[in-house]
Amino acid sequence: MSAPIELHYWPTPNGWKISIMLEELGVPYTVNYVNIGAGDQFKPEFLAIAPNNRMPAIVDPEGPDGKPISVFESGAILQYLGRKFARFYPTDERQRVAVEEWLFWQVGGLGPMAGQAHHFRQYAPERVEYGINRYTNEVNRLYGVMDRRLAGRDYLADAYSIADMASIGWIVPHERQGQSLDDFPNLKSWFERVKSRPAVQKGLAVGEERRSNISEDKNAQSVLFNQRAR
Ligand SMILES: N[C@@H](CCC(=O)N[C@@H](CS)C(=O)NCC(=O)O)C(=O)O
């Protein structure tokens, strides 16, 4: 049995990617809660492993050569864990490229655009029509891309992989992004298929009781939405 992996985490779509992966792997892990609404992401000990002041991050006490390694950026963490445990990240080059295409599509597209949709639709102090339309439409376009990809296939790549784990958490709050899954039948079936996995349910439940409503928390808004270079 390997030594527990330290997960630095808060229950959000980016955090869920890694709690889901660790649950899927069934490996031991401990959770270090990084309360991003309270500013824990700026603590020096967290910045030492995650210099972008964003969670998730991990510390694996048994990294390469048996020495500890820390990893930040959810995509890099998923790839690291996939390689380390040789699961959900195929070694066949064509299959691996397919996983990476959809993983990077999520990390560089779906996540940031859906995050901006949440921001303009839920958190912006005044209603900015342009921002709401821009990001709601962009998320709608991305849902369409995903829906077409999932026509006649069960998962984003050839089999269930880290690409599906990266994306599922961002579809959970689809209503907050102004989307209806009824408009995207293949995406809807995929969502139900992936969400029904016991490990996904466990991953989504990690720290659920700590989730707060940022749209009603002025202190969290000032921590999260007023950041400049330090
Ligand atoms: N590109 C990063 C994004 C992570 C991210 O945006 N995390 C958010 C929560 S979902 C966060 O930690 N926010 C803290 C902050 O904004 O200061 C990744 O994929 O790991």
- Render pLDDT for 178-203 as a digit per residue (tens, 0 to 9): 999 999 999 999 999 999 999 999 99
pLDDT in tens, the chain (230 residues): 689 999 999 999 999 999 999 999 999 999 999 999 999 999 999 999 999 999 999 999 999 999 999 999 999 999 999 999 999 999 999 999 999 999 999 999 999 999 999 999 999 999 999 999 999 999 999 999 999 999 999 999 999 999 999 999 999 999 999 999 999 999 999 999 999 999 999 999 999 999 988 888 989 999 999 899 98
Residue span(s) of the chain under CATH 1.20.1050.10 come to: 93-196
Ligand 1 pocket, Cβ-based, cut-off 6 angstroms? 12-14, 36, 41, 53-56, 73-74, 107, 224
- pTM listed for this prediction: 0.98
d(CA 152, CA 22): 28
> Which CATH number applies to 5-87+207-226?
3.40.30.10
CB atoms within 10 A of CB 59: 17
Looking at ligand 1, which residue's alpha carbon is closest to its atom 4?
54
Q: Distance between CA 81 and CA 45 in Å, rounded?
A: 22
Summarised one tens digit per residue, pLDDT across range 122-158 is 999 999 999 999 999 999 999 999 999 999 999 999 9
Q: For CATH 3.40.30.10, list the domain ranges present in the chain.
A: 5-87+207-226
Q: What is the best residue among 9, 14, 47 to mutate for testing ligand 1's pocket, by most ligand atoms within 8 Å of CB?
A: 14
Write out the CATH class of domain 93-196.
mainly alpha
Q: Which of 54, 79, 165, 211 to mutate to test the pocket of ligand 1 (most atoms within 8 A of CB)?
A: 54
Handedness of CA 68, 70, 75, 78 (dihedral sign): positive
Of 37, 34, 86, 87, nearest to 58 (Cα)? Answer: 34
